[in-house]
């Protein structure tokens, strides 16, 4: 392993001649293979190696993590080419992330590390009280996982750490999918209170880190629209919008999802809230369920759809936009006159403008007149990197429908 504490012993990665380096100098955190001189020496670097990035004139640009087997060959770790990437560096970065979240939230339940935006390229970490679930989705973070783990373990109140290696991003970095508890003990479900609702997080068997914190603000907005209302939450996962609506005073909520385990967690959350008599769960393909409801003339005061990423990459964009349009068309037909429609996307390839256009087409094809009331994004525990559009992946839009 490279001596990451010393810049003198690091290998050098160099930009190609005449390559415009302003993008990197102005903050871009990724360097692509076609921007670099990749000779036999650099191609032999072990994935995760820490190196110094230079322009073709040998002027240093910063300290990077290297993986020549990935499309993103270099990930910027620090603009200082002489910085020591050691235990202190990890600890300082982690503590900076903690300090910001503690100023934002009353309880330690939040996204703790949001990858590049928090200065940890490819790393995701969510905090659930005294437990942290971390996804080291880049080779450098896997290679130096012990330093990352120790920095997380030093946070006041943290007793347990779970390593989640199930992300698709790890495969693209050539990493394994072996997950497990790496500190302390974790068993059972963890109740998480947000917006007055209780969600049950399965940190070992659930999706990704066990719970999605990114929709917290949009859940709250949806709940405000749902007082005394009948609510349909499609692609509900563990009951994100449905449980928030019940906490906000909804008359009833129906949660639709294809995952039986996720719906079981939604039911357990409703039971913990004392609202199980107002929740109905329905397992099935979301499109089939909505088609059936439309055919039977079913209407709700509020319909909210939060599907998976239909456009996870640029090649999938057009197909994904057609899927979002279909969701909007079906969902709009289920909204009672004067009711509300919420549509969400976590596809970074579909920006807010393209996503809204697809939704507007779907609502129009449903024969509905709409007023756009609110546009939301992920909360402040999911900060956006100014030079990385992918970090602003989440869109949530809410309409009032007439006709």
User: Which positions are annotated as active-site residues?
Assistant: 346
* Residue environment code for 373-383, b if the CB has 16+ CB neighbours within 10 A, otherwise e: ebebbbbbbbb
CB neighbourhood size of 69 (10 A)? 14
- Of the candidates 347, 394, 359, 375, the one whose C-alpha atom is nearest the C-alpha of residue 212 is 394
| Residue in this structure with the two tokens 């992946």, named with its chain if needed | 393
Taking the CA of residue 145 as centre, how many other CA atoms within 13 Å lie in the half-sphere pointing to its CB?
19
């Amino acid at each position: 392993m490279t001596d990451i504490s010393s810049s003198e012993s690091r290998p050098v990665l160099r930009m190609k001649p005449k390559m415009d380096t302003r993008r990197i100098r102005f903050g871009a955190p990724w360097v692509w293979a076609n921007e670099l001189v990749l000779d036999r020496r650099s191609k032999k670097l072990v994935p995760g190696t820490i190196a110094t990035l230079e322009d073709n004139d040998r002027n240093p640009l910063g300290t990077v993590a290297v993986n020549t087997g990935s499309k993103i060959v270099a990930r910027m770790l620090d603009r200082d080419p002489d910085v020591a990437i050691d235990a202190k560096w990890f600890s300082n970065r982690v503590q900076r992330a903690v300090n910001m979240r503690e100023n934002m939230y009353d309880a330690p339940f939040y996204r703790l590390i949001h990858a590049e935006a928090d200065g940890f390229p490819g790393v995701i970490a969510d905090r659930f009280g005294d437990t942290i679930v971390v996804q080291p989705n880049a080779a450098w973070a896997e290679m130096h996982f012990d330093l990352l783990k120790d920095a997380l373990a030093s946070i006041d109140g943290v007793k347990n750490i779970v390593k989640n290696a199930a992300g698709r991003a790890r495969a693209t970095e050539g990493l394994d999918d072996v997950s497990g508890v790496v500190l302390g003990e974790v068993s059972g479900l963890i109740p998480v209170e947000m917006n007055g609702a209780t969600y049950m997080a399965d940190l070992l068997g659930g999706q990704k880190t066990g719970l999605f914190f990114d929709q917290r603000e949009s859940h709250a907005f949806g709940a405000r629209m749902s007082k005394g209302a009948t609510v349909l939450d499609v692609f509900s996962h563990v009951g994100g919008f449905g449980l928030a609506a019940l906490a906000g005073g909804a008359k009833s909520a129906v949660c639709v999802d294809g995952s039986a385990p996720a719906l079981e967690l939604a039911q357990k959350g409703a039971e913990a809230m004392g609202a199980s008599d107002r929740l109905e769960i329905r397992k099935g393909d979301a499109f089939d369920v909505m088609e059936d409801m439309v055919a039977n003339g079913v209407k709700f005061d509020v319909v909210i759809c939060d599907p998976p990423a239909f456009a996870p990459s640029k090649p999938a964009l057009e197909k994904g936009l057609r899927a979002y349009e279909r969701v909007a068309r079906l969902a709009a037909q289920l909204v009672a006159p004067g009711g509300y429609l919420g549509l969400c996307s976590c596809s970074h390839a579909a920006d807010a403008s393209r996503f809204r256009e697809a939704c507007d087409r779907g609502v129009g094809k449903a024969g509905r007149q709409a007023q756009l009331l609110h546009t939301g994004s992920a909360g402040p525990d999911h900060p956006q990197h100014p030079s990385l559009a992918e970090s602003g992946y989440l869109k949530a839009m809410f309409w009032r429908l007439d006709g």
